Amino acid sequence: MGVPFFDLKRQHGSIKNELNAALQQVMDSCRFVLGEKVKSFEKEFAAFCGTDFAVGVANGTDALRLALLACGIGKGDEVITVPNTFVATTEAISQTGAKVVFVDIDPQTYNIDVSQIEEKINERTQAILPLHLFGQPADMDPIMEIARKYNLKVIEDACQAHGAEYEDRKAGSIGDTGCFSFYPSKNLGAFGDGGIVVTNDEEVAQRVRMFRDHGQIKKYEHLVEGTNSRLDEMQAAILEVKLRMLDEWNRLRRRNASAYDDLLQNVNEVVTPLEAECAKHVYHLYVIKTHRRDELQEWLTSKGIGTGLHYPLPLHLQEAYQYLGCGEGDFPKAEECAKQILSLPMFPELTREEIEKVVSEIKAFFARRQDLSLTALVGRGG
Ligand SMILES: Cc1ncc(COP(=O)(O)O)c(C=O)c1O
């Protein structure tokens, strides 16, 4: 029995009729761009996050970029973030004209090491962009405190953290803006690309609304040059159906994570994810750490078990960011993490049997390693 890394077919099977009906409604309305579905989904997603406003955009990258622009970030500014993220986080910063400034991570949660932020702040720093990696919120209270002290904006990258919580507040609702991706594999995913910005600031919401639609607030009245970054009606219709399932799907992800945690408890070579006390992790990814990562991944692949690397090379060591002048050893925790982390199969519909299969193959791998080491020792007369 193989185990897929991710399987959307199971999810769609359970809500097929609702999805079909929602799509049919859009087809019947013949309104495909910025119609009633986008409006109602925005309202429901804002309520879900506990924010006053939500503005749908074309993808998560644009959510970040337009949120940064709406917060006034641009040329000459510096924005602080982490190097162990998907490149979209930093693309969004650079595309506003601002400079990316990296801070290393906490090796236990893999999120920004808050104690290292202040030393990176100077007169050009305008914002902190914390990432809620793998579905666990960054330590937001101290981040907000630093932001208040230095008068900085906070743009949350919540692209992997739909429904996650920090001290009972939803990820994305704590900073000046929260940005989400609806890429199909996310905890809340569309049938293509999609994204959204949430905020309590009416002006910021208004600016994102203007930027996403060619800088206009009224047809053919362009206050600024914007872009075309609208959430489609079809995607909003699907997301509206799926949003109703999100809490339950996150509950099932947490149940699956807890099963992995229990079953891996006595595997000394594996570090399971730590859920911080202040956080409710929604396990967009279930990521373990091990010194034998590459060999283990190969072993699992040979057994038909899907795995992933998120992410194999930190951004400061990528060709695209050579111009920043960073090098090996600059962010040691992020670098170590990139070499050791392995994402295991994780989705709501994953069965107990499948989790047991993954863990039994992990155990078999380490038992085999031990046998090989013993044989080598005996061979050497040890
Ligand atoms: C952390 C993070 N930020 C930003 C993005 C960008 O989202 P999108 O692919 O919707 O542009 C993603 C999505 O993969 C992500 O994981």
Mean pLDDT of each 10-residue bin along the chain, 382 residues long:
95 94 97 97 98 98 98 98 98 98 98 98 98 98 98 98 97 98 98 98 98 94 96 98 98 98 97 97 98 98 98 98 97 98 98 98 91 71 51
Give the 3-state DSSP-derived string for 327-347, with helices as H, strands as E and coil as C. Answer: CCCCCHHHHHHHHHEEEECCC
Q: How many CB atoms lie within 10 A of CB 20?
A: 11
Q: Which of 159, 160, 232 to mutate to test the pocket of ligand 1 (most atoms within 8 A of CB)?
A: 159
C-alpha 162 – ligand 1 centre gap (Å): 12
Q: Which amino acid is at 233?
A: E
Q: What is the pLDDT at residue 379?
A: 67
Strand 153-157's sheet: what is its strand order? 53-57, 195-199, 177-181, 153-157, 125-128, 78-81, 99-102
Q: Is any ligand 1 atom within 6 A of the Cβ of residue 181?
A: yes
Task: Single out the residue of 327, 322, 297 nearest to residue 312, CA to CA.
Answer: 297
- Using CA atoms, how far apart are residues 189 and 246, in angstroms rounded to an integer? 10
- Using CA atoms, how far apart are residues 279 and 136, in angstroms rounded to an integer? 7
Q: How many Å separate Cα 374 from the centre of its chain?
A: 41
Cβ within 8 Å of residue 106, ≥6 positions away: 112, 113, 114, 139, 333
Q: What is the pLDDT at residue 233?
A: 98
pTM above 0.75, yes or no: yes
Q: What is the pLDDT at residue 375?
A: 75
- Using CA atoms, how far apart are residues 5 and 148, in angstroms rounded to an integer? 41
Q: What is the pLDDT at residue 369?
A: 74
Q: What is the pLDDT at residue 381?
A: 55
Q: Is any ligand 1 atom within 6 A of the Cβ of residue 61?
A: yes
Bridge partners of residue 344, in order along the sequence: 286
C-alpha 180 – ligand 1 centre gap (Å): 8
Residue with tokens 């057994």: 303
C-alpha 229 – ligand 1 centre gap (Å): 15
Task: State the DSSP string of 34-82.
Answer: SSHHHHHHHHHHHHHHT-SEEEEES-HHHHHHHHHHHTT--TT-EEEE-
Token code pair at residue 246: 């999100």
First-to-final CA distance of the chain: 38
Identify the sign of the CA torsion 366, 275, 116, 68.
positive
Q: What is the pLDDT at residue 371?
A: 75
Q: Is any ligand 1 atom within 6 A of the Cβ of residue 136?
A: no
pLDDT 10s digits, 289-305 = 999 999 999 999 999 99
Residue with tokens 């060619």: 214
Q: What is the pLDDT at residue 368?
A: 87
Token code pair at residue 124: 């050009």
Q: What is the pLDDT at residue 372?
A: 72
The three-class DSSP label of residue 138 is coil
Token code pair at residue 377: 């020792």
Q: How many CB atoms lie within 10 A of CB 304?
A: 12
Whether omega for the bond prior to residue 283 falls within 30 degrees of 0, making it cis, is: no
Q: What is the pLDDT at residue 1?
A: 85
- Greatest Cα-to-Cα distance within the chain, rounded to the nearest angstrom: 84
Task: Tell me which DSSP letter residue 229 carries.
Answer: -
- Is residue 132 within 8 A of residue 106, CB to CB? The reply is no
Q: Dihedral angle at the C-alpha atoms of 167, 168, 170, 175, nearest 10 degrees?
A: -40
Q: Is any ligand 1 atom within 6 A of the Cβ of residue 160?
A: yes
Q: What is the pLDDT at residue 355?
A: 98
Q: Which amino acid is at 320?
A: A
The three-class DSSP label of residue 370 is helix
C-alpha 126 – ligand 1 centre gap (Å): 22
